[in-house]
């Protein structure tokens, strides 16, 4: 059986177990390095000390960079990266759809008003261009005639 088959059969090990294995390995490596450090010359010891300080400095820089831009989770389960998770960016992003909706409704209302005005203008133009006597407009049946669809 290969290792991938074992992982799929038994599941992946928990993070705590992986951390424990890594810690044991690190302790073994440091113990071996400490045993052999007595045999090294002073120039090599100084170079190793300098390299160790540089490595620690880089590790600190990585840790501070990770804490400067944390990855969070919002209430609905979405990932929040960096500074997008708080502050006025989040507020602006949540208000923007409301403004878009209001602008869309306003434009729809204006379009509908313009459509009604143009329809009324067409009816008025047709009535004024027709050869009806002025008394026909005051007739009660004429309003009913206008309401019935044309054939």
Residue-wise DSSP of 4-70: HHHHHHH-PPPHHHHHHHHHHHHHHHHHHHHHHHTTS-HHHHHHHHHHHHHHHHHHHHHHHHHHHS-
pTM listed for this prediction: 0.34
The closest alpha carbon to 33, from 46, 18, 48, belongs to 48
pLDDT at 80: 58
Residue pair 85/72 in contact (Cβ under 8 Å)? The answer is: yes
Residue pair 29/36 in contact (Cβ under 8 Å)? The answer is: no
Q: Is 144 exposed, middle or buried (0-12, 13-18, 19+ CB in 10 A)?
A: exposed
pLDDT at 39: 78
pLDDT, mean of each 10-residue run, the chain (151 residues): 49 80 89 78 83 88 73 60 61 88 97 95 83 76 76 54
């Amino acid at each position: 059986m290969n290792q991938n088959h074992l992982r799929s059969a038994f599941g992946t090990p928990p993070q705590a177990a992986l951390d424990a294995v890594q810690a044991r390995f690190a302790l073994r490596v440091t113990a071996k390095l400490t045993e052999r450090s007595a045999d090294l010359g002073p120039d090599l010891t100084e170079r190793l000390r300098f390299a160790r300080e540089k490595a620690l400095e880089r590790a600190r820089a990585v840790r501070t960079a990770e804490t400067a831009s944390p990855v969070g989770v919002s209430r609905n389960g979405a990932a929040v990266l960096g500074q997008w998770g708080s502050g006025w960016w989040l507020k602006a992003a949540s208000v923007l759809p409301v403004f878009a909706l209001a602008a869309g409704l306003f434009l729809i209302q204006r379009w509908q008003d313009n459509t009604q005005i143009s329809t009324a203008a067409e009816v008025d133009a047709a009535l004024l261009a027709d050869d009806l006597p002025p008394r026909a407009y005051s007739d009660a049946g004429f309003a009913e005639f206008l309401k019935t669809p044309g054939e």
